[in-house]
Amino acid sequence: MLKKSLTLFVLVLFTSSLVFAQAAKQVVDKAPKPVMESLSMDKSLPGSNPVLPHSVTAVLIGKMWNAYSTQGSYTNQIFTDPFSGLIAVVHRVDRTGAGSGRIVYQGSDDGGQNWTPQIGPMNLAPWNAGRHPNIVLSNPTKSTTPGEQVPVASWAELSSSWYWYQFARDQAFGAGTFTQYIDSTYYPGDEMFVNSQGHVFATIENIDPVVYGNDTVFYHLFVSTDQGSTWTKYPLAKYGDVDNYNGMKGFINKNGVGYIVFEAQQPGSGFYSFAYKKTTNDGATWDANWTWVNPFTLAPLAGNVHALNYEVDAIVDGAGNLHFAGTFVDTVSGANTGIYHIWGQGNTWQAEKVASVYRTSMSLPGGLSTLNEVEFATNWDGTIGILKW
């Protein structure tokens, strides 16, 4: 049972560690201009799709006005409760809705074979221009009965530009009785996550940074300890922590050990790697400072890849090790570009190449890009990882 439901995947049995170090080069810009996928690259890597050992069944869940919100690989639009198996999906309303920005959710209690009609809209009136929604299921009692979990969603509301950020929770799954909270001057948020008590966490980037004493904060951590009814925000990242950045990922395991991972440039480094803040008490407190990890001298990355692209994800296993996956680019020949997996904690790290996959940036209508969209998930015990791209 997974916290994120994925498609193309590889199973990874978790172990631990080796060595960590320092090196490297520069990566793509944070907001690259869309470019068409390289047909010459495709032709240089011939081959057909392999026959998989397991069949795949496609089920239509619902429809929406357009697919723009699905292009945000930093969101989790699907979530599975590990105790009941209940699955929730959040998206923009179908064409029965008056406008494309009303946010709705749907659920399945039979492994995704059948789905409820869309439930919502979840938006607080008069806002109806939701974009890039996230969803989690809060289950503090660890109930095994589907439907006793509370869906909590969040998204950015588009006005003349990004401005409002909204949270909404349903009173019970399928009730359609929403409690909303809205805050201002935030970009679309990164993935939401929950702890073992059903508390909900969200890392969200400020449009207008906020000054706290001597610190100028540009990322907040939002926390709800009552299943999304009320929210408290805490400073998470400030000027001087990084030179540039792409986004954050958060995850807490069943033992209360978790990480918030920041794909960014360490000050003065000139290249992208990742940093983390750790919790060992179920998210009650987090490290005050970021700990940086540089994977570029770990075998098999050393000398073979030179840049980290912006298609990444991270999880934590049952032993408390951080697992990071992303598209690393060979800027010299392209031959070693692929999906790499880095794992460990403290000063002990190791790495492996999972697949030879060229980084993807294909232009779409509206100036959007589709990416490799690397996603990582684990079972509740943290003993099996599933990696999708």
What CATH number was assigned to the domain covering residues 9-388?
A: 2.120.10
User: Residue 350's closest CA among 386, 388, 323?
Assistant: 323
By the 8 A CB rule, do 140 and 196 touch? no
Q: Where are the domains of the chain?
A: 9-388
Reduced to 3 states, what is the DSSP secondary structure of residue 25? coil
Q: Render pLDDT for 95-146 as a digit per residue (tens, 0 to 9).
A: 887 788 999 999 999 999 999 999 999 999 888 899 889 999 999 999 999 9
73 phi-psi bin (left φ>0, alpha ψ -120 to 50, beta other): alpha
Per-residue pLDDT at 20: 27
Q: Render pLDDT for 38-86 as a digit per residue (tens, 0 to 9).
A: 444 444 444 555 677 777 888 999 998 876 665 556 788 999 999 999 9
By the 8 A CB rule, do 340 and 301 touch? yes
Q: Render pLDDT for 220-232 as a digit per residue (tens, 0 to 9).
A: 999 999 999 999 9
The reported pTM is 0.86
Per-residue pLDDT at 52: 73
